[in-house]
Structure 1
């Protein structure tokens, strides 16, 4: 049985991706050494579902359609650097969201509720809206990276209009993940989605 690595995301517009890429370039020039996320792969992950058979992917699409059928588009301000697990141990470096973050979180929670009805096992961790910029496993580089994070911690990317979510497939390759949209569902139009 073929399994599909699947997640539900909000994709970014080209202008926003370009501004994030500029920030990545500025951080790189300042000495931050990370495995950078390619601009075309930048997104908000609402829910990672793992490796699924095709029938479960179809159920995830149905649940997503139902969840966003009555949702309305909104705007999110993308701003502020952070890191997981902590700013002083930055294994994953990200840019967060400010205004509109509560609406993005509410959307993720609603999708989780509909996925749970379809018997998907849900992660108990609270959703934290962020765009992953890059990853570091080399703690010898963290000193310089932490200094760079402090320098750019208040970076503002700008506003992004959220009007759709995408059920996405991810294939891991040595060059990095390759994402394939399975279905994009417009907020407020769950029955008029766009298969890809």
Structure 2
């Protein structure tokens, strides 16, 4: 594992204790993600006000853990993966592109219908288990299945995104991944640490 940069260290009980910015995500099948990335690239083509996320970053965030001690990473992965091991993959259907917030948006997201609430079940299982293990404090707001497509560049005022064609449908989501988020001036870099295939 690469050492933390200075920006990735945060105060803890012991000075200098290395910490990692972590989250768990539900990932689309690679074929579906590639198709979605191509559609998204068409959608934002020529838009200098927007910064599209890399294709590898198209995922549904399940829980954001914030900064945790690096030594907790194996236990976090074990707890989360044990909670979802017997669950089936999710299938999602695009509903439309949403600006967030609606006025003066900072990003554009793809709103998703969660077939049979499979993705919500996966999210709840991860959230409940990590909360029980005291790795995570659940958010008060309801979980919303969506994919971030692009962020608005600093200082830009973004016009609406109007898709010329429908997004790929359905999106199969069979993988849960523990990610480390590395903050950089040009945008966050998401580094996969461990993953599990659902229904394997």
TM-score (norm 1): 0.81
1:181 — aligned with what? 192
Secondary structure at the aligned position of 2:168 is classed as: strand
Cα distance between partner residues in 1 of 2:150 and 2:172: 23
Cα distance between partner residues in 2 of 1:14 and 1:70: 21
Equivalent position to 2:75, from 59, 67, 80: 59
1:78 — aligned with what? 94
The CA deviation at 1:9 is: 0.5
- Aligned residues of 2:179 and 2:190 also touching (Cα < 8 A): yes
Structure 1 or 2: larger strand share? Answer: 1
Equivalent position to 1:172, from 150, 169, 183: 183
- Aligned residues of 2:39 and 2:167 also touching (Cα < 8 A): no
2:54 — aligned with what? 38
1:132 — aligned with what? 148
1:116 — aligned with what? 131
1:192 — aligned with what? none
Cα distance between partner residues in 2 of 1:26 and 1:2: 40
Task: Give per-residue Cα distances to partners, 1:83-139, cap 9 Å, x unaligned.
Answer: 2222x3321101121252721112111111101110122222211111111112557
Task: Give per-residue Cα distances to partners, 1:58-89, cap 9 Å, x unaligned.
Answer: 23212212210221223222341112222x33
TM-score (norm 2): 0.79
Equivalent position to 2:112, from 83, 89, 97: 97
Please say if 1:152 is aligned against 2:163: yes
Question: Structure 1 unaligned runs (5+)?
Answer: 190-196
- Aligned residues of 2:29 and 2:174 also touching (Cα < 8 A): no
What's the RMSD between the two structures over aligned residues?
A: 2.4
Structure 1 or 2: larger helix share? Answer: 1
